[in-house]
Amino acid sequence: MAVLCKPAIAVPEHVITNEETLELARRLHGDHPQLNLALSLIKHTGVQKRHLIQPIDTVLKHPGLDARSIVYERESKARVPAVVLRALEHAELEPQQIDLIIYVSCSGFMMPSLTAWLINTLGFRTDTRQLPIAQLGCAAGGAAVNRAHDFCTAYPDANVLIVACEFCSLCYQPTDLGIGSLLSNGLFGDGVAAAVVRGKRGTGMSLERNSSYLIPHTEEWISYAVRSTGFHFQLDKRVPGTMEPLSPALRTVAEAHQWNVSKLDFYIIHAGGPRILDDLSRFLDVPSEAFRFSRATLTEYGNIASAVVLDALARLFDEQTAVDGHHGMLAGFGPGITAEMSLGTWTAPGS
């Protein structure tokens, strides 16, 4: 059975704190008619600091989409390989043993995908399959786990590498002054994550079932407007309330597996913001403490998009409280509005 092994994570060296973000908002948008609302929303994100690939003064400049695309390619090539190699080490595999690379990112675009460069650079086989996913946003981390599970179900001896590369700061648009845009400016951070799904053996989350769910007619709630200046993030004010219609989907997939979603041993949930976790705690009748890994990611790194679930999973590994036979759920949420859900049982060494 496919096992999701310990992820590797890296965040950039440039840091901006929540207080610095609030002061920046006051300085840049002092005459904004809804400044106090924006400040309140940013203050209550639960984010203490975020990491950026460039100093904040550089982030605030907009040299154009072409220049940002150059930065995305340069920084991804500089930062991804070390994370990939650590993920392979966690899984006790070599590049030649990987059969599929799934690369997810919603904050930059390359063609060919970075997967081709990784194959040529890190010594993967030339027949390694490639699956870039660019348009699922924050849900893509969960989707990557699910597609890796599907691949290993079809090919039980296969191994899959997942890479999430998110440089959300490259999507900053100085002319976007809506409340949703101002909130996102104080919420999203940059980060790279990678993990291996082994078709056989391994320590981690043994994947047993996956599912997707889309809330009907919500495709405009989280979106990009793609313009000459790049990606303009659009966030509808109804998004924070989406856990009410999504929580039944999480309950349904657990029940289909004859599990009680309220009684699982661990939860790896995308932390888009504190209300998502608060609402899930209430709707699923789960203690707030159960989402401590997701909250820690949000607090220390902000919303790092598709990389959130991998970082939260790495924190579960580091805590070392999961034991053989524990049942858990991994779920990512993003544009659509889409949920990507996985169920699995913890598999310890020698089991």
Chain mean position to CA 183: 18
Q: Which CATH architecture has domain 204-347?
A: 3-Layer(aba) Sandwich (3.40)
pLDDT higher than 80, residue 97: yes
Query: What is the per-residue pLDDT across 49-67, written as a single tens digit (0 to 9) for each?
Result: 999 999 999 999 989 999 9
Q: Give 288's pLDDT tier (boundaries 50, 70, 90).
A: very high
Query: What is the per-residue pLDDT across 105-129, written as a single tens digit (0 to 9) for each?
Result: 999 999 999 999 999 999 999 999 9
Mean pLDDT of 318-338: 95
pLDDT higher than 60, residue 178: yes
Which residues are part of the catalytic machinery? 138
User: 0.85 cut: is pTM over it?
Assistant: yes
pLDDT higher than 90, residue 241: no
- Tell me which residue of 17, 92, 8 sits closest to 307, measured CA to CA: 8
pLDDT higher than 70, residue 162: yes
The span from the CA of 14 to the CA of 36, in Å, is 27
**The domain defined by 3-198 carries CATH number 3.40.47.10:** yes
- % the chain with pLDDT above 70: 99
Q: Give 350's pLDDT tier (boundaries 50, 70, 90).
A: low
Strand (E) or helix (H) holding 247? helix 243-256
Domain ranges of the chain: 3-198, 204-347
pLDDT for the residue numbered 21: 94
Q: Assign residue 64 a region (left: φ > 0; alpha: ψ between -120 and 50; beta: otherwise).
A: left
Mean pLDDT of 136-150: 96
pLDDT for the residue numbered 236: 85
- Which letter does DSSP use for residue 179 in this model? H
Mean pLDDT of 203-219: 96
Instruction: Give the least confident one: 229-238, 280-289, 309-318.
Output: 229-238
Rg, the chain, Cα only:
19
pLDDT higher than 80, residue 349: no
Both structure tokens of 180: 């949703």
Q: Give 273's pLDDT tier (boundaries 50, 70, 90).
A: confident
CA atoms within 13 A on the CB side of 104: 32
Q: Give 351's pLDDT tier (boundaries 50, 70, 90).
A: very low
Are the CB atoms for 136 and 335 separated by under 8 Å? yes
Both structure tokens of 213: 């769910």
